[in-house]
Structure 1
Amino acid sequence: MAAIAAAPKDASLEDKIKNQVEFYFSDSNLPRDKFLRSQTGEAGDGYVNLDIVANFKRLKSLTTDLSVIRTALKTSQLVELNEDKTKLRRKYPLPPSISNKRKTIYVKGFPTEEEPQLESVVELFSPYGVVRSVRFRRYPDTKKFKGSAFIEFETEEQAQRAAEEEFLKDQSGAELEVLTKDEYFKRKKQREQSTTASRGAQEEVDSSEKENIASQSKEASFQRGLILGLKNIGENVTREEIKQVFSSFGEISWIDFSRGQSTGYIRFSQPNSAKEAVRALQEKPDLKDKFAELWVLYGDEEKEYWSKVVQLQKEKREKSSKRKKNFQRQSKSKRRKI
């Protein structure tokens, strides 16, 4: 799985070089980079020959001039050069315990014919926060792109914000599925368990269809009183601002809103949170300019909203399942040709 440091599209060459070198020595990459770790020692703060690092593929694609690399690293807060500028190291040891799982999302649905440009992926997810790295996933034997990637953000909050985006399209128009890394591994484990249980007589049963049925059954008996409606939302109100204001009333499962829309919905995790929000904000006139009208969905309106949620999730799973089946058919066809 190749990892690539993410730099803004319009960054200067020096910034791109510094960003890439700092990524090599970062908390995110160094602990899992066996070769570089063998050079830097267990604490990760040992010197490495500059010409070794300069020969790494991604850095080499930026420049092969060691003097340019030295200049770019002058302002680095993470790495430093020795006195004669021939070696570099981290300025401080690795933390004793590192986990970037909650800062990382899993994205699938990219066209598999050609690996997307790093810059386009960074640009797509930059609205949600600072993208630290992109790990394109490939098959171990063929190195062919799987159509998915792990994307690491600077903070857990930024990763969660991106994972809340249920529907997203890349520059080619392909629909992407976005999950937290935790949710990805949870679903992967469920699929593996389902495959093991169904092996034999039900070997051909598609586990994603079973998940679909179970999910629809669960959603059919939805908990009432969780949905808060917002009308006449101010023009400059952002999704993050809505989250900041309303999370004080309870845990938010989903925010159905895009900037510029006049109407939106908040799905809380606990009952009474929506009621509490309506009651409390009626006593705060300073927020009326941003959220002119709030109400809790009940009756037919609530059922209709949940029906739309179920339908959208069903369509999303069906598209994911269709992509999976197409890939399986293509793989079988290739094996036959071989």
Structure 2
Amino acid sequence: MVTPSLDEETAKKVIRQVEFYFSDSNLPRDKFLSNTLSESQDGMVSLALICSFSRMRNHLGLGEVKSEDVAEDRVKVVAETLRTSSFLKVSEDGKKVGRATELLNPEEVREQLEVKTIVVSPLEYDVKLKDVESLFCQFGKVNSVRLPHHVADKRLFCGTALVEFSTEEDAANILKQSLDYTGVRLEVKPKKEFDAERSKQTKEVENSRSPVASNRKNNSNAEANYPKGLIVAFKLKRISAEGSAENS
């Protein structure tokens, strides 16, 4: 029986996406994937789990599906596709995937990533990753582009992109450039400044939400504390022509 395969375009997207998941650019920052790998004895994770990640679901047309619900034949097809990557390794049974070479000194790699990454804003709410990459690839090789969510609403883009270059020199050079995008002058700065601002914004959002949650909790148990005679609810009634009362 001939094993089905992905079309060429989808195969390229799948390989690139999974290589990114395990790359130096992503793995040190991805707590979930890093923790999952650390719990694995063979340095690999479930391929069904990888297929259930958002972008992989989009590439494979899986819709909203959990890892345990990804069809075995689909996992098998993806496994055969990933075997062509020299960066990845796939288990013999095709059910697991990982890096071909272990990531050494994650903390050191993370520090290197910080100095090779710049942040740029303001960007339109519907900007695409490929558009941001196209803008910056003329200044050097771009390893990755990230579009962080808004601290107050994870469904929304915050308007700032994180662009990682392959070298520290390219990142430093872009900080000296004057850039425009869609008619707007862009602000470019080091990632450490973005991290400081992000941390401050997160605390402000958390503090603004705390009183609301506290008030809701207090209100739910406050009946016994109401002052005597305080009106807490009332109902309006309309008096008909005959003098009877009707609920309005």
**TM-score, normalised relative to structure 1:** 0.47
SS in 2 for 1:124: helix
1:106 partnered with 2:119: yes
CA offsets, 1:143-168, max 9 Å, x none?
22221111111221222232221x21
Change (3 A) 1:163 1:17: farther
CA offsets, 1:126-151, max 9 Å, x none?
11122222221222331222211111
What is the deviation of 1:42? 6.8
Q: Larger Rg: 1 or 2?
A: 2
Partner of 2:95: 86
Change (3 A) 1:104 1:44: farther
Change (3 A) 1:67 1:157: farther
- Give the letter aligned to residue 183 of structure 2: G
Change (3 A) 1:169 1:34: same
What is the deviation of 1:43? 9.1
Partner of 1:151: 163
Instruction: Flag structure 1 segments of 5+ consecutive residues without an equivalent.
Output: 1-10, 193-338
Contact 1:79 1:89 in 2 (8 A): yes
Instruction: Flag structure 2 segments of 5+ consecutive residues without an equivalent.
Output: 1-7, 63-73, 201-248
Contact 1:134 1:152 in 2 (8 A): yes
User: Which of 16, 21, 27 in structure 2 is aligned with 1:19?
Assistant: 16
**TM-score, normalised relative to structure 2:** 0.62
Change (3 A) 1:85 1:185: closer
Contact 1:105 1:152 in 2 (8 A): yes
What is the deviation of 1:175? 2.1
Contact 1:49 1:87 in 2 (8 A): yes
Change (3 A) 1:42 1:84: closer
Q: Percent same amino acid at aligned positions?
A: 37
Cα separation, 2, equivalents of 1:179 and 1:126: 17
Q: How many residues align?
A: 175
Change (3 A) 1:185 1:53: closer
1:137 partnered with 2:144: no
Partner of 1:177: 187
Change (3 A) 1:129 1:83: same
Partner of 1:162: 174
1:72 partnered with 2:81: yes
Partner of 1:244: none
